[in-house]
Amino acid sequence: MKTQIVEINEKSLALAKNVIEGGGLVAFPTETVYGLGANAFCDDAVKQIYAVKGRPQDNPLIVHVHKDYDIERLVCDIPSYAKKLAEKFLPGPLTMVYKSRGAVSPTVSCGLDTLAVRIPSHEGAQRFLKYLDLPIAAPSANISKHVSPTSAEHVLADLNGKIPYILDGGASRGGIESTVLDVTGEKPCILRSGLITKEMIAEVAGSCDVFIPKEGVKVRSPGMKYKHYSPNCCTMLFPFDRIEQAKEAYLSETAKGVNAYIMCDSACAEVLGVKNILCLGKTEEEIAASLYGKLREGEQVAELIIAIAPEKQDGIMAGVMNRLTKACGGKQ
């Protein structure tokens, strides 16, 4: 199969609709990362997502719908705080996990009685979802465990020959995946951090928990137990207050002939003054938006990426730290 990157227009939307209605897969842009979409009502199509990505069978998928879709067709028992959150943050990078009505293929939620629903704000995603008027099950459009894609070219690099079309909506501006929030309890609980932060959620909902996986406690978001977001090269991660040790590691590895690069923000890059830098930018937004692109660039040019964690670790940086730690083989 030849994979084509296509601009989003009437013609490509009609082609995409044909594929999706026929039980096939189409990649599409969102404001966080690119998604690999299938008709959520079609069990065979949803199973294909797992096969194409090599995704573990017990890691459930998010269903994507357009902004005028009535989600009560899919889920029930929506608490009032979730309605307030939807009003404030949707469409946008917030996924909420509700009690499922069991309307979509059971493979979407891997047999759980909940369903994760997301309404992306990206204009191209909205056009695609509206044109189809179907709930679209979609994980990030990368091979399982690899770095998530933030451009059509990243998707092609991972899925070339495996899907017919990639709808091109430019670079994803957010850069890390949506916040996944469990809204089945009395209080909201973050299962995966992202661009909608704990602080932002607590301001609207009154409070917000963060689920921290512990030995022996059942994992509430199965995706949390897997290695993720990893570039195909060696990695090391240093905390912000260990800049000097990171530089020493860079110098000693370079002296041994290892092609090493340091990945850090622009202020840190200035202090270090070394040659091989993968600079993530200055602001928190820039750092989140460039993280996956830089990890992919790094695996092309480097044998070893030495990452230095950002100084700040709350707000958006909580999501960045979570991805960076996992990319570098950590368990966070």
Q: Tell me the pairing of strands 209-210 and 234-238.
A: unpaired
Inter-axis angle of helices 10-21 and 123-132, nearest 10:
50
Nearest to 139 by CA among 35, 264, 272: 35
The correct pick among 59, 254, 266, 276 for binding ligand TXA (CB under 6 A) is 59
Q: Does 97 bind ligand TXA (CB under 6 A)?
A: yes
Three-state SS for 106? coil
Span of 133-141, 205-213, 232-240, 294-302 interacting with ligand TXA by CB under 6 A: 133-141
> Using CB under 6 A, which residues numbered 221 to 280 contact ligand TXA?
221-223
Nearer CB in complex with ligand TXA: 192/247: 192
User: Which residues partner with 308 through β-bridges?
Assistant: 238
Q: Shortest Cβ distance from residue 297 to Mg ion (Å)?
A: 19
Other CB atoms closer than 10 Å to residue 290's CB: what's the count? 20
Q: Does 124 bind ligand TXA (CB under 6 A)?
A: no
Span of 32-40, 79-87, 298-306, 318-326 interacting with ligand TXA by CB under 6 A: 32-40
Return the beta strands (E) in 119-213 as ranges: 136-137, 165-168, 179-182, 189-192, 209-210
Minimal CB distance residue for ligand TXA: 223
Q: Shortest Cβ distance from residue 5 to Mg ion (Å)?
A: 20
What span, in angstroms and rounded, lies between the C-alpha atoms of 244 and 9? 51
8 A C-beta contact, residue 26 and residue 168: no
Nearer CB in complex with Mg ion: 114/266: 114
Nearer CB in complex with Mg ion: 63/249: 63
Q: Does 116 bind ligand TXA (CB under 6 A)?
A: yes
Q: How many residues does the chain have?
A: 332
Tokens of 52: 């194409």
Nearer CB in complex with Mg ion: 79/231: 231
The correct pick among 16, 61, 71, 74 for binding ligand TXA (CB under 6 A) is 61
Inter-axis angle of helices 284-301 and 152-159, nearest 10:
40
Q: Does 290 bind ligand TXA (CB under 6 A)?
A: no
Q: Which residues bind ligand TXA (CB under 6 A)?
A: 30, 32-33, 35, 59-62, 95, 97, 109, 112, 114-116, 118, 138-140, 177-178, 180, 191-192, 220-223
